[in-house]
């Protein structure tokens, strides 16, 4: 796949790529590194803490993070495998760069261990609790086509009904526009 990283942008719900299971990458090459660096840039520009391949329109098992206080380094996770700690779940507020204006309470395990390839193609394993474990789980969900919409309670669904409908309506407007007026979409 030939990807021009400069053309990548964050895609919004209901883009179909957000609901697809991403495929593993065969290698961490220059193209993957360039895409990862662009994703880090987009994540920072949007003031996010993570961004997954499907969120920039790529069905790749890749995500980037910068957990701020929880982990202030920019990190790249290629073909991650996530192990969740069994036991208590903790509820926490989550938003999503592909669902602007929507926040929901999501119950997740408190701790996780992740194994992935870094930006240089080296395997690493890390464990975390709290916010960083939550970020990993959120981004890993994206790789499996799962959105916070799929994890929201009936109360959150009701509270967010209007912004969800607005995102769907905006997508229909773009899809219905004549080809010559659409421009580039991420």
Kindly state the tokens that stand for 77. 């996770």
Distance, CA of 184 to CA of 74 (rounded, Å): 28
11: burial class by Cβ within 10 Å (0-12, 13-18, 19+)? buried
Which candidate in 47, 139, 166, 168 is catalytic? 139
Distances (CA, A) of 143 to 16, 68, 94: 13, 22, 17
Q: In the annotation, is 26 catalytic?
A: no
Hey, which residues are catalytic here? Answer: 139
């Amino acid at each position: 796949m030939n990807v021009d990283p400069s053309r990548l942008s964050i895609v919004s719900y209901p883009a179909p790529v957000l609901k697809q299971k991403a495929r593993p990458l065969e290698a961490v090459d220059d193209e993957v590194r360039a895409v990862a660096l662009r994703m880090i840039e987009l994540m920072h520009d949007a003031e996010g803490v993570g961004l997954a391949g499907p969120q920039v329109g790529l069905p790749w098992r890749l995500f980037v993070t910068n957990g701020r206080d929880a982990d202030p380094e920019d990190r790249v996770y290629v073909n991650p495998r996530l192990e969740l700690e069994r036991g208590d779940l903790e509820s926490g507020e989550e938003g999503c760069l592909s669902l602007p204006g929507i926040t929901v309470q999501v119950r997740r395990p408190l701790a996780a261990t992740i194994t992935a390839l870094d930006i240089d193609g080296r395997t690493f394993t890390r464990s975390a609790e709290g916010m960083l474990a939550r970020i990993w789980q959120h981004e890993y969900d994206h790789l499996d086509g799962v959105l916070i919409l799929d994890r929201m309670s009936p109360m959150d669904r009701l509270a967010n009904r209007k912004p969800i409908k607005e995102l769907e309506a905006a997508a229909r407007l773009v899809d219905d526009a004549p080809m010559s007026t659409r421009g580039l979409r991420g």
